[in-house]
Amino acid sequence: MYLRASAFKDMDMDSSLIESQLNHLNPDTPAQFGIMTPQHMVEHLTVTMKLSSGRIKLPEFEPNEKQLMQKQALIYTDMEFPRGVQAPNSKGELTELRFPDLDTAKEKLVQSIQEYEEVFEKKPDFKSIHPRFGYLTHEEWEKFHQKHFSHHFRQFGIA
The pLDDT tens digits of the residues spanning 48-82 come to 999 999 999 999 999 999 999 999 999 999 999 88
Residues 159 and 156: their CA atoms lie apart, in Å, by 8
Give the model's pLDDT for residue 6: 37
Strands 128-130 and 134-136: antiparallel
Helix, strand, coil abundance in the chain, percent, nearest 5: 50, 5, 50
| Cβ(131)–Cβ(144) below 8 Å | no
| Cβ(134)–Cβ(61) below 8 Å | yes
Sign of CA dihedral 44, 49, 52, 58: negative
Residues 96 and 128: their CA atoms lie apart, in Å, by 25
Which residues pair with residue 130 across a beta bridge?
A: 134
The pLDDT tens digits of the residues spanning 72-124 come to 999 999 999 888 888 777 777 899 999 999 999 999 999 999 999 999 999 99
